[in-house]
Amino acid sequence: MLINIVVPELGESILEATVGEWLKKEGEPVQAGEPVVSLETDKVNLEVSAERAGVLAHIERPAGTDVHIGDVLGTITEGPVSPPTGERVPLGEETGAPARHAAETRAQAAAEGEFEEKVTPVARRLAGEHDVDLSQVQGSGPGGKVTKQDVQNYLDQTGAPPAQAAAPSTPQPPFVPVSQTRPARQPAAPAVLQTGAALPHEGRSEERVRMSRRRQTIARRLVEAQHTAAMLTTFNEVDMSAVVAIRGRRKESFKERYGVSLGFMSFFVKASIGALKSYPRLNAEIEGTEIILKHYFDIGIAVGAEEGLVVPVLRDADRMSFAEIELAIKEYVRKIDESALSLEDLRGGTFTITNGGVFGSLLSTPILNPPQVGILGLHKIEDRPVAVGGQVVIRPMMYVALSYDHRIVDGREAVQFLVRLKELIEDPETLLLEG
C-alpha cells in the first residue's frame, strides 16, 4: 500500500514552503514517526515525518521545489522495514528499482535509523562537511540528541581538520556542479603573448547557490522596510562602567542561583522598556491612517542563525526578571541551534534589539522590522578616553543606534529615547527602583 507524504499545515498566514533536504533516499527504509524531509518557510524550518513504517518509494518534489499545503512530496510503500535475512526483493515488485536498492541498504539503515533520529539536521550537515563519525559525538540535547554545538565541540577537542583539507595526492580543481556553473574559461595559450596581456587563469569557476526561503523573505522584508518607512537613525554613546561592575560582582552568584550567565542583554531589555514607557510612539505601529499604541512590551531579540537572521520574541518582557530574560534568550539560542524554533516563538513583537557587538561591530544603522517603528542597535564595548569631571579617563564605552519610522516618531523623541536609555544603563539602580 502506498502512503503519500504531504505538506502539512504550516501555521498562521504561511501557505507555501520550499523543500529543503530529503533526509532519506529512494529505496531506504523509514520508521513510523521518523523525519523524512525538511521544509523551509519564511519563518521556520520544519521536518515532515513518516506516518507509517515502510520504504521511501518515490520522491515527488526534489530539494529546492516550492510547494503548498496538501501537495504530495513523495510516497512510502507500507510494510516491515527489516525483512528476514536472505530475503530478496524481486525486480519490479511494488517499487521496482528503488525496492532492489532497498534490499541492499535495508539492514544497515535499520540499524542506524534509531541513531539518526537523535541527530538534528544542522548537526548532521556540519558532521558531513567535516567527515565526523556521529557515533563518536556525545549528545547534550533532549534525550541525548546530538546538536550542532556538540559536533563543534567535538571538532574543537579533536582538532579534526575540515573534510576538504584532506587533499588527494593529485591536486584536483574544486567540484562545482556543471549545471549550476558557467564553464571555466580555458584560453588557448598564444604562441607569443602581446605586451600587457594578462596571463591565463586556471580554476576560475562560479557556483550558483539557491537562496533559502528564509533568506528570500529577509531580503524582501528589508527592501520593503526601506521603501515603506521614512527610516532614520540617531546615535548616542553609553558608559558601561556601572553595568560591567555589577556583572563583575554578581556574575558567579547569579549563575550559581539561576544556572545562566548574567549578560548585557537583560540590562538593555529593561532599559529599553523604561525608555519605551516614556516615549510610547516607539512601541507602536501604523495601520492605514491610524497609530496603534501598544501598552504591552513584546521585545524581539535578533539572533544570527545559520539559515539567516531570526527574531524570537520575549512576551511581556516588562514582567520578566533579569534571570527570566537571560534564561529565555538561552533557550531561544538552543532552539535555533537545533532548528527547533516554532512560529509562536517568532510571532508579533513591538520593538526589536539587535546586537552587532557580538561580531565586533563598532557602529551600524539597523533596519526596521516591520510593522515595528523602532529598533535598537547595540555594538562592541571598547575602552576609550572620555572627559569626566574635567579630566580624561578611560571608560568602557558603547555606541548605540536607534532606527525609527519618522512618519510617527519625531527626531526629538528618538534622541530623548536614547538619552533616557543612556541614563538607565549608566545608573542601573534606577532599573530596579522604577521596575
Domains and CATH numbers, the chain: 2-116 (2.40.50.100), 118-161 (4.10.320.10), 213-433 (3.30.559.10)
Give tens-digit pLDDT for 347-400: 889 999 999 998 899 999 999 998 999 999 999 999 999 999 999 999 999 999
pLDDT of residue 127: 80
pLDDT of residue 200: 55
pLDDT of residue 102: 46
Q: Is 410 a catalytic residue?
A: yes
Distance separating alpha carbons of residues 359 and 216, to the nearest angstrom: 23
CA distances for 327 relative to 23, 126, 324, angstroms:
32, 26, 5
Catalytic residue (choose from 201, 316, 406, 427): 406
pTM of the model: 0.63
Q: Which three cell numbers stand for residue 432?
A: 530596579
Helix (H, G, I), strand (E, B) or coil at 231: strand
Beta strands 290-293 and 313-314 are unpaired
Distance separating alpha carbons of residues 65 and 18, to the nearest angstrom: 6
CB-CB neighbours of 49 under 10 Å = 17
Distance separating alpha carbons of residues 82 and 55, to the nearest angstrom: 10
Of 316, 375, 311, 372, the C-alpha closest to 346 is 311
The region, left, alpha or beta by phi > 0 then psi within -120 to 50, assigned to residue 349 is left
Q: Is 58 a catalytic residue?
A: no
Under 8 Å between Cβ of 222 and 367: yes
**Measured CA angle at 348 (ends 433, 222), to 5 deg:** 110
Distance separating alpha carbons of residues 279 and 256, to the nearest angstrom: 36
Place of cell 506516518: 51
pLDDT in 10s for each residue of the chain, 435 residues: 788 898 887 765 577 788 888 999 888 999 888 899 988 876 677 788 888 888 998 898 898 888 888 889 999 988 766 544 444 444 444 444 444 444 444 444 444 445 555 777 677 777 877 888 888 888 877 667 788 778 888 887 776 554 444 444 444 444 444 344 444 444 444 444 455 555 555 678 888 887 777 778 778 878 888 888 899 999 999 999 999 999 999 999 999 999 999 999 999 999 999 999 999 999 999 999 999 999 999 999 999 877 778 899 999 999 999 999 999 999 999 988 887 888 889 888 999 999 999 889 999 999 999 899 999 999 999 999 999 999 999 999 999 999 999 999 999 999 999 999 999 999 998 887 765
| Beta carbons within 8 Å of 115's beta carbon, 6+ residues apart | 134, 135
Catalytic residue (choose from 131, 316, 383, 410): 410
| Beta carbons within 8 Å of 147's beta carbon, 6+ residues apart | 120, 122, 123, 139, 140, 141, 334, 337, 338
Q: Is the dihedral of CA 382, 383, 385, 388 positive or negative?
A: positive
Q: Which three cell numbers stand for residue 356?
A: 552587532
